[in-house]
Amino acid sequence: MIIKHQTKQLVGGLSSQKEEATMQTHSAKQEALEAIARLPDSVNTEEIMYRLYVLENIRRGQQDAEQGKTTPAEQLLRDIHTW
């Protein structure tokens, strides 16, 4: 529950279109610096690391989607029912 809340806060704080464009045109280092710069001064190291982790996983997901490396929802539901 805490992680879900943190994820909503972090992802909710993104200006998605601007962040997407930035993530596609800059180096990983530049993306990280820009993401950190947008955080409040009171942020701790754990929150910084978590923000970078979330952004990286969003980037990977977008990349996978662009390359067609996705699983249809119907297949996911069938897989879940076999657990």
6 pLDDT more than 80 = no
More confident residue, 64 or 3: 64
More confident residue, 70 or 1: 70
Per-residue pLDDT, averaged over 72-79, amounts to: 94
Tokens of 74: 């119907």
Q: How many helices (DSSP H) and strands (DSSP E) are in the chain? A: 5, 0
Residue with tokens 């990983």: 28
Note the pLDDT of residue 62.
Answer: 93
Residue with tokens 């993530």: 23
Note the pLDDT of residue 26.
Answer: 74
68: left (phi over 0), alpha (psi -120 to 50) or beta: left
Task: List pLDDT tens digits, range 15-73.
Answer: 554 555 544 567 889 999 999 999 999 999 999 999 999 999 999 999 999 999 999 99
